[in-house]
Amino acid sequence: MRYFIGFLIKGEAKDFHCKLIQEIFERFTVEPLINKLDPHITLKAPFEATEEQASKVVQIVEGFCSTVQPIGLKLSNFGRFDTNVVFVDVEENAWLQLVFRNLNERLGKEKWLTFEKFDFAKRFHSTIVSGNFEEERFSQIWDFVSTKSVSIEMVFDGIAIFRKMNGKWEIFKEFKFSYS
């Protein structure tokens, strides 16, 4: 089974994210990502795991979350990767980088768990549009998104483990940060 680990975007940030995805869908007929997964910030790229391995990941994430306090984050500006991804940027945050590094160190003790370049060279973001676009169409989407502005504060207060079921990513387990 396939899994990934991320931070669920909620509240005002989720509302903004979903509204923008809907606007892009209506204007450009791009399949809305919210049909496939909830708005999130990826912390560990997708990986294959057996039920036993997934249980171990659950234990690691649950234990990790008990050692972390909530962190303030800010969504600001937009970015892109090549001509296939548009995203909302997360402002640089040293505490978030430390949490990310510490989580990956714990997960890295599991020899079966693979890590990709994406798992280390991290630019925190939340994808709005993803696909194989012709350059002109992508430019139109990017030009439209570039007219928007975003500056939303939110709290990073937990981690979710997502599981792919029937072509859609669902929340498998969610843990709140509980260190006080």
Binned average pLDDT, 10 residues per bin, the chain of 180 residues: 95 93 90 83 93 97 95 93 91 88 92 81 86 91 95 94 94 91
Q: Looking at the domain assignment, is residue 137 inside a domain? A: no
Say how far apart CA 120 and CA 130 lie, in whole Å.
21
| Kind plus residue range of the DSSP H or E element containing 51 | helix 51-65
Domain count, the chain: 1
pLDDT given at position 54:
97
Domain ranges, residue 115: 2-74+90-119+155-176
- The CATH number assigned to the domain holding 17 equals 3.90.1140.10
Q: What angle do CA 37, 43, 46 make, to 5 degrees?
A: 60
Q: Looking at the domain assignment, is residue 168 inside a domain? A: yes
Q: Looking at the domain assignment, is residue 149 inside a domain? A: no
Predicted TM-score (pTM) above 0.75: yes
